[in-house]
């Protein structure tokens, strides 16, 4: 297990990372690990150990994974994951489980594949990012103790009071999609997390991002939308549009965004650009 570093988010796994650390010490003699205090701390640790580490293991949720991945983009370093978040969308999509022995076996083989990532105004995203309703939900969700039940509560409360966002596309070929929407998502993988599939046809290896435009729908349709999302059967209709693009530009009348589940304020105009095969991930 030489040249391996584990980066642990102490606020993931219900703030109880010690069982993972105990298991790691049992399986790996003198493991190299870092208990992250902040995104900057994670970035500084990777920078400091970049030349001596070949594979970085992110222990946390999608936000933790993204903060590690951003330092590994377009390098020969490999990203591995031990999922410990509330949603674990990126981990689910890339077949990482909470089985440490399985992960260590994969690490010994060092097999990897190269996947796409994308940028939102030069900010890196690896999974699903968005604005509108879900950007506002993430903003409010971060004020809670997290957890799936709190996410549902915040989502319902936000939906009942949320006014649609206005989107205008730059390219003439997309002008027909100008209008008011509940939310806009950019998907590199199929799911937000918790097996909620917002973009059932998204792929990390096709050089395209899936732009998902969702118009505000009546409350009675919400149940059907949820059923289709959790059963991977969302399809285009009068409320839902999918655009598969290598890049796209638009303006939106809100600054509330989430990048891989983490709240961000981003000014328009917005430019989305796919970075093909830019991240090496353990398989």
Residues paired with residue 166 on neighbouring β-strands, in sequence order: 180
Nearest to residue 13, comparing CAs of 61, 58, 57, 56?
Answer: 61
- Beta carbons within 10 angstroms of residue 31's beta carbon: 14
CA distance 184 to 254: 11
| CA atoms 79, 81, 86, 87: torsion sign | positive
Residue 244: the pLDDT is: 98
- pLDDT tens track, the chain, 283 positions: 789 999 999 987 667 789 999 999 999 999 999 999 899 999 999 999 999 999 999 999 888 999 999 999 999 999 999 999 878 999 999 999 999 999 999 999 999 999 999 999 999 999 999 999 888 887 877 777 777 777 788 888 888 788 899 999 999 999 999 999 999 999 999 999 889 999 999 999 999 999 999 999 988 898 899 999 999 999 999 999 999 999 999 999 999 999 998 889 999 999 999 999 999 999 9
Q: Are 145 and 15 in contact (CB under 8 A)?
A: no
Element (H, E) at 265: strand 262-265
Strands 112-120 and 55-60, bridge-based pairing: unpaired
Nearest to residue 192, comparing CAs of 200, 245, 145, 246?
Answer: 200
pTM: 0.89
CA 264, 189, 140 angle in degrees (round to 5)? Answer: 30
Residue 230: the pLDDT is: 94
Residues paired with residue 57 on neighbouring β-strands, in sequence order: 6, 80
What sections of the chain are H helices per DSSP? 18-27, 39-49, 62-69, 89-93, 100-109, 133-141, 148-161, 219-230
Dihedrals phi, psi of 213, to nearest 5 degrees:
-105, 120
- Beta carbons within 10 angstroms of residue 96's beta carbon: 23
Q: Are 237 and 146 in contact (CB under 8 A)?
A: no
CA distance 139 to 117: 23
Burial of 72 (0-12, 13-18, 19+ CB in 10 A): buried
């Amino acid at each position: 297990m030489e040249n391996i570093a584990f980066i642990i988010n102490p606020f993931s796994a219900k703030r109880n990372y010690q069982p993972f650390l105990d298991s790691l010490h049992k399986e790996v003699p003198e493991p190299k690990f870092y208990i992250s205090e902040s995104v900057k701390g994670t970035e500084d640790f990777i920078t400091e150990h970049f030349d001596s580490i070949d594979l970085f293991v992110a222990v946390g949720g999608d936000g933790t994974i993204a903060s590690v991945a951003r330092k590994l983009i377009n390098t020969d370093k490999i990203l591995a994951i031990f999922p410990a978040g509330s949603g674990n969308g990126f981990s689910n999509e890339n077949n990482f489980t909470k089985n440490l022995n399985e992960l260590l076996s994969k690490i010994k083989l060092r097999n990897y594949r190269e996947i796409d990532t994308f940028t939102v105004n030069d900010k890196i995203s690896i999974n699903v990012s968005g604005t509108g309703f879900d950007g506002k939900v993430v903003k409010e969700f971060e004020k809670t103790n997290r957890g799936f039940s709190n996410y549902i509560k915040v989502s319902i409360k936000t939906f009942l009071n949320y006014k649609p966002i206005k989107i205008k596309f730059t390219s003439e070929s997309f002008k027909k999609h100008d209008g008011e929407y509940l939310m806009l998502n950019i998907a590199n993988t199929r799911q937000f997390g918790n097996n909620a599939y917002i973009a059932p046809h998204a792929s990390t290896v096709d050089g395209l991002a899936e732009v998902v435009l969702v118009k505000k729908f009546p409350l009675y349709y919400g149940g059907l939308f949820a059923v289709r999302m959790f059963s991977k059967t969302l399809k285009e209709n009068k409320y839902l549009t999918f655009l598969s693009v290598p890049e796209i530009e638009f303006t939106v009348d809100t600054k509330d965004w989430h990048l891989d589940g983490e709240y961000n304020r981003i000014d328009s105009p917005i430019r989305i650009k796919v970075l093909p095969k830019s991240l090496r991930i353990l398989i």
